[in-house]
Structure 1
């Protein structure tokens, strides 16, 4: 049942990621453009050049804010990563799987400690 729920969650995360892939690319490009514009603004000597870079920066900033819902795609990518890592976890922990019925209470201490930590 756990694998089925992980599969469904991963499928939903993948679909959300694919649906937001375009806005995620545009968001990344616009953030890069803002960086370039800031560098050009700092290097500009004239006042007219600085005003031009500020106006261009505001236009690119509006494009950036219009694609802010692409953060949902980043969250979906993270959720997909979590699903994949939980899918690969091995259920057979050698400490837990080693069960010996004996009268010595200290012989299976590690197994009991692992069982306590799992709850």
Structure 2
């Protein structure tokens, strides 16, 4: 039942991620453009150039703010990552019989108890 619920959660997170992939791309592009505009603003020496970079920065900032709900898609991607890691960490540990000739059987059992 636990694996089924994890599968359902992963499926929901995948649907949310796919639905928000476009806004995530536009958010990333607009943040990159804001970085470039800021660098050009700092390099500019004329007042007219600085005003132009500020106006362009405000336009790109409005695009970034309009795609802010893409953070839901980023959260869904993180949930998918956590669920993937959780599903891959469940491993069955098998041991030899207690009366076997293997000298490391007791050590493996104690090591598994320490790691729990």
After superposition, the C-alpha distances for 1:61-112 in whole angstroms (9 at most, x for unaligned) are 111111111011000001011111122223313xxx448679xxxx969757
Q: Distance between the aligned counterparts of 1:12 and 1:86, measured in 2?
A: 16
The gaps in structure 2 that reach 5 residues or longer are: 100-104
- For 1:71, the equivalent position in structure 2 comes to 71
Q: SS of 1:58's equivalent?
A: helix
Whether contact under 8 Å (2:6, 2:83) holds in the other structure is yes
1:76-115 superposed matches below 5 A: 76-93=76-93, 97-98=94-95, 111=109
Q: Aligned pairs, how many?
A: 112
* CA apart distance, 1:39: 1.0
> Please, what TM-score do these two structures have when normalized by structure 1?
0.79
After superposition, the C-alpha distances for 1:14-61 in whole angstroms (9 at most, x for unaligned) are 000001000000000000000110111111111011001001101111
The gaps in structure 1 that reach 5 residues or longer are: none
Q: SS of 1:68's equivalent?
A: coil
Structure 1 runs of 4+ with >2 Å offset: 97-102, 107-118
Q: Distance between the aligned counterparts of 1:57 and 1:33, measured in 2?
A: 8
Q: Distance between the aligned counterparts of 2:97 and 2:75, measured in 1?
A: 44
* CA apart distance, 1:6: 1.2
Q: Distance between the aligned counterparts of 1:90 and 1:68, measured in 2?
A: 35
2:38 matches 1:51: no
